[in-house]
């Protein structure tokens, strides 16, 4: 049987990237003097009003993707609210920003109050943990657009960073070291491929039975593993942001390790990530085996156990690792020709 891929499940990463590049030009035609960076980083940066104001507002918007379908099958939705907030917190954190406030958008065919209450419970828990205010949102009932019982959830976050403490990768140089921080699982990406690989798009009763099974390598059910909330790296990273030793941060979301690290690497440099320099959590091997997925496709779609990448000077590695007390050295930055990919994963079979 031919192995599964993201494109075979209906997700076209390359096509989406091409469209994003085209529409970015349209968006950039609206830029005012307050916009500080072009589109493509993990958050949009806008100078706070006031000529002498040293602060910059950082915003991001995202959704939880098709992980909501796993939650619907399992009948557990609280973790999805946590996912949404933490994903957005991690995005603006990659710019050095702390969160200020959050808004959500919930859309479905017909409102199920208990589901919405679960989701908001998760969002409020995550917002409180991040010191972030949930100041509003929108609830839309759209029969004819959404299938019965299906919902979508998106969120917008706004944070702040001092202009002198912006982290955007511009100071990265050859010789810098990449430290990978462990993910808590799939986070919020790759679920279309995971669902197909694990046979969770079949009859709902069959899918629920599969989610209830405990794999031989695990101590909890497959459903619990797949619904493990997206980790927030804010508590871990705040002391390092204050110390000023971080040269770049990458949130590993859609596009995998290379695709996301590439977003912060300056021209003329290349981040070389070494496969095998960290342990792959069993859930990823489980998905790959069941879907007969090519290893390169796995690294293109999933975080493979590394949810965040920190770039630091080589001389700062010992102190940073001691302060983190977790993670692995997974690669380094080297000189490269302008045409080379800005990030690659070496050692894939």
Residue 315 parent element (H or E): none
Beta-strand ranges (E) seen in the chain are: 44-47, 55-63, 98-108, 133-141, 151-162, 177-182, 248-251, 269-274, 306-312, 328-335, 343-346
Residue 13 parent element (H or E): helix 13-28
Q: How many CB atoms lie within 10 A of CB 265?
A: 21
Q: Quickly tell me which residue has 């031919």 as its tokens.
A: 2
Residue 7 has pLDDT above 90, yes or no: no
pLDDT for the residue numbered 50 = 87
CB 95 within 8 A of CB 45: yes
pLDDT in tens, 247-305: 999 999 989 999 999 999 999 999 999 999 999 999 999 999 999 999 999 999 999 99
pLDDT in tens, 33-59: 999 988 888 999 999 998 889 999 999
In the numeric block, which tokens belong to residue 128?
């409180």
For the chain, residues classed under CATH 3.30.1330.10 are 7-165
- pTM of structure: 0.94
CATH superfamily, domain 177-346, is PurM-like C-terminal domain (3.90.650.10)
Instruction: Sort strands 248-251 and 55-63 into parallel, antiparallel or unpaired.
Output: unpaired
Please return the burial class of 121, using the count of CB atoms within 10 Å of its CB with bins 0-12, 13-18 and 19+.
middle
Q: Per CATH, is 7-165 categorized as 3.90.76.10?
A: no
Mean confidence (pLDDT) of the chain = 95
pLDDT band for position 21 (cuts 50, 70, 90): confident
Sequence-ordered list of residues with C-beta below 8 angstroms from that of 268, at least 6 positions apart, any chain: 335, 336, 337, 338
For the chain, residues classed under CATH 3.90.650.10 are 177-346
Helices 204-212 and 67-74 meet at what angle, rounded to 10?
Answer: 90
Nearest C-alpha neighbor of 235 from the set 90, 125, 106: 90
pLDDT in tens, 187-215: 999 999 999 999 999 899 999 999 999 99
For CA atoms 145, 148, 151, 152, give the dihedral sign. negative
How far are the Cα atoms of 60, 204, 251 from residue 308, in angstroms, in the given order? 17, 34, 5
In the numeric block, which tokens belong to residue 87?
């994903």
pLDDT for the residue numbered 338 = 77
Q: How many CB atoms lie within 10 A of CB 10?
A: 10
pLDDT in tens, 83-138: 999 999 999 999 999 999 999 999 999 999 999 999 999 999 999 999 999 999 99
């Amino acid at each position: 049987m031919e192995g599964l891929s993201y494109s075979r499940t209906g997700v076209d990463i390359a096509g989406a990237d091409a469209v994003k590049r085209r529409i970015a030009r349209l968006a950039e035609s609206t830029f005012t003097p307050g916009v500080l960076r072009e589109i493509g980083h993990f958050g949009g940066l806008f100078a706070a009003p006031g000529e002498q104001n040293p602060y910059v507002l950082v915003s991001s918007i995202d959704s939880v993707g098709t992980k909501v379908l796993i939650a619907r099958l399992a009948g557990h939705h609280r973790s999805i609210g946590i996912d949404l907030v933490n994903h957005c917190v991690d995005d603006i954190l990659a710019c050095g920003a702390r969160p200020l406030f959050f808004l959500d958008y919930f859309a479905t065919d017909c409102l199920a109050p208990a589901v919405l209450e679960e989701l908001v419970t998760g969002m409020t828990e995550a917002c409180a943990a991040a010191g972030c205010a949930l100041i509003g949102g929108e609830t839309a009932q759209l029969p004819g657009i959404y299938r019965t019982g299906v919902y979508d959830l998106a969120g917008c976050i706004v944070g702040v960073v001092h202009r002198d403490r912006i982290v955007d990768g511009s100071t990265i140089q050859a010789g810098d070291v990449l430290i990978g921080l462990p993910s808590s699982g799939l986070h919020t990406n790759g679920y279309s491929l995971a669902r197909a690989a694990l046979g969770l798009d079949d009859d709902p009763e069959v899918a629920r039975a599969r989610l209830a099974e405990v794999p031989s390598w695990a101590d909890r059910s497959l459903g619990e593993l797949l619904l493990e909330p997206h980790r927030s790296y804010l508590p871990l990273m705040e002391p390092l942001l204050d110390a000023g030793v971080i040269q770049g941060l990458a949130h590993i979301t859609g596009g995998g390790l290379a695709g996301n690290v590439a977003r912060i690497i300056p021209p003329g440099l290349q981040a070389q990530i070494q496969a095998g320099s960290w342990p792959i959590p069993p859930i990823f091997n489980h998905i790959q085996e069941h879907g007969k997925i090519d290893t390169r496709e796995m690294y293109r779609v999933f975080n493979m156990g590394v949810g965040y990448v920190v770039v630091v000077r080589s001389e700062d590695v010992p102190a940073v690792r001691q302060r983190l007390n977790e993670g692995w050295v997974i690669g380094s930055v080297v000189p490269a020709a302008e045409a080379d990919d800005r990030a690659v994963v070496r050692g894939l079979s």
